[in-house]
């Protein structure tokens, strides 16, 4: 009788873990599908994109007054992120996530890596996060 109860417990635990693994697999597949939907627009050829997008500002005399990166516009997400990093140079990347709660963590990670690749900001690895500095 004892062995029968042990057998039932082992079978029950196996079924429970099988169900847990199936749930995790469904979540991962759904996440991958979301990435597939979002990535086609982000996979534009790199040759068409400039390294640092710039907006040209002209004065009244129509001469070049300044060349300002378009990321300095605080109404865009890039501009807002750059403003926060400039305000708190050396902040951890994980400290940035709560400040932009309306944007997903994955989108912010992608944006920060893109900005670092474009030379807009600098990331230094520290533990499981990065320290962010304006370039």
Write out pLDDT tens, residues 69-101. Answer: 444 555 688 888 898 899 988 899 888 888 888
Banded model confidence at residue 15, pLDDT cuts 50, 70, 90: very high
Assess whether pLDDT exceeds 80 at residue 56.
Answer: no
Which residues does 10 contact at the CB level (< 8 Å), separation at least 6? none
7 sits in which H/E element: helix 2-42
Assess whether pLDDT exceeds 70 at residue 59.
Answer: no
How would DSSP label each residue in 45-108?
-GGGS-SS-EEEEE-TTSSEEEEEEGGG-TTSHHHHHHHHHHHTTTEEHHHHTGGGTTS-HHHH
Average pLDDT over the chain, rounded to an integer: 78
Write out pLDDT tens, residues 106-117. Answer: 999 999 999 999
Structure tokens at 80: 């807002």
The per-residue pLDDT for 58 is 41
CA distance 117 to 110: 11
């Amino acid at each position: 009788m004892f062995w029968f109860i042990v057998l039932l417990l082992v079978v029950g635990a196996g079924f429970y873990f099988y169900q847990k693994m199936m749930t995790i697999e469904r979540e991962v597949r759904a996440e991958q599908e979301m990435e597939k939907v979002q990535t086609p627009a982000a996979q534009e050829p790199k040759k068409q994109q400039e390294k640092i997008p710039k907006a040209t500002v002209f004065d009244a005399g129509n001469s070049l007054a300044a060349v300002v990166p378009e990321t300095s516009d605080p109404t865009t997400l890039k501009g807002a992120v750059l403003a926060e990093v400039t305000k708190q140079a050396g902040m951890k990347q994980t400290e940035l996530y709560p400040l932009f709660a309306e944007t997903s963590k994955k989108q912010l990670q992608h944006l920060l890596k893109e900005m670092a690749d474009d030379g807009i900001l600098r990331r230094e690895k520290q533990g499981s996060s990065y320290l962010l500095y304006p370039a």
